[in-house]
Structure 1
């Protein structure tokens, strides 16, 4: 009698590896959001009475910079699909969870859609550029 050991096929292993990368990128994205924006919940009231915030420009720039580095590294390591899926979805989910309890008007949902759309577009452009540079660099 022949003993057979079930060995996962390459596509299945690749799928599980890609799922792991998606989950890792999603976790890093949520941690990035919490580190830069999640802690700041207070609006700034100026002497003339108008409110701004809760985020400052440097916080948003930090968030975007970290996401850009994460996205570029993921694409360079051949995980473009994972980056294109994980970054917009995870960032939008983090925003939605953070913003929904404080906004009875429902406008938080509009903000989440805007964050998702902008993140998806910027991630898609970044993926295309980095994938092209990667292909040209590795083909030499």
Structure 2
């Protein structure tokens, strides 16, 4: 089976972004599995606010870079697939099966957030012409 170069060129950015998403999950959240019991008996965790914020900042940088390089589909798809896969693997030890609710929420949230960020980046003015567009300055 041979993959055509245009297909491969389209897949590489998505695979890179997905890899960044999985690695970011592992670095920020994957190592922390302990819930904390508070003095009043309430339970929190396993993640702290700073861990989730670090994950968001890391993914924001990856999505912005990919979208700025005009790989919007890769930014959205790679982030969504990477985070969904990481959440599934990390949380699948829950015997109740309720972890799938969280996985679906991660999938929906990462899709919406990365799509919004990609759309914002796409709407920003650029100094250079976009791929496939005629340079209007050269026509004058």
1 or 2, which has the higher helix percentage?
Answer: 1
Q: Which residue of 2 aligns with 1:63?
A: 55
Q: Which residue of 2 aligns with 1:80?
A: 72
Which is worse superposed, 14-23 or 117-126?
A: 14-23
Deviation at 1:104, TM superposition (A): 1.7
TM-score (structure 1 length as normaliser): 0.85
Q: Which residue of 2 aligns with 1:128?
A: 119
Q: Which residue of 2 aligns with 1:50?
A: 42
TM-score (structure 2 length as normaliser): 0.85
Deviation at 1:48, TM superposition (A): 2.1
Q: Number of residues paired by the alignment?
A: 127
1:118 has 2:104 as partner: no
1:72-128: CA deviations, max 9, x gaps? Answer: 000111111111111011101100110011x12211100000111011011111111
Partner SS for 2:67: helix
- Once superposed, what is the RMSD of the aligned Cα atoms? 1.6
State the distance in 2 between where 1:80 and 1:100 align. 30
What residue ranges of structure 1 are gaps of 5+ in the alignment? 1-11
Q: Which residue of 1 aligns with 2:95?
A: 104
Deviation beyond 3 Å, 4+ runs, structure 1: none
1:120-140: CA deviations, max 9, x gaps? Answer: 01111111110111xx21359
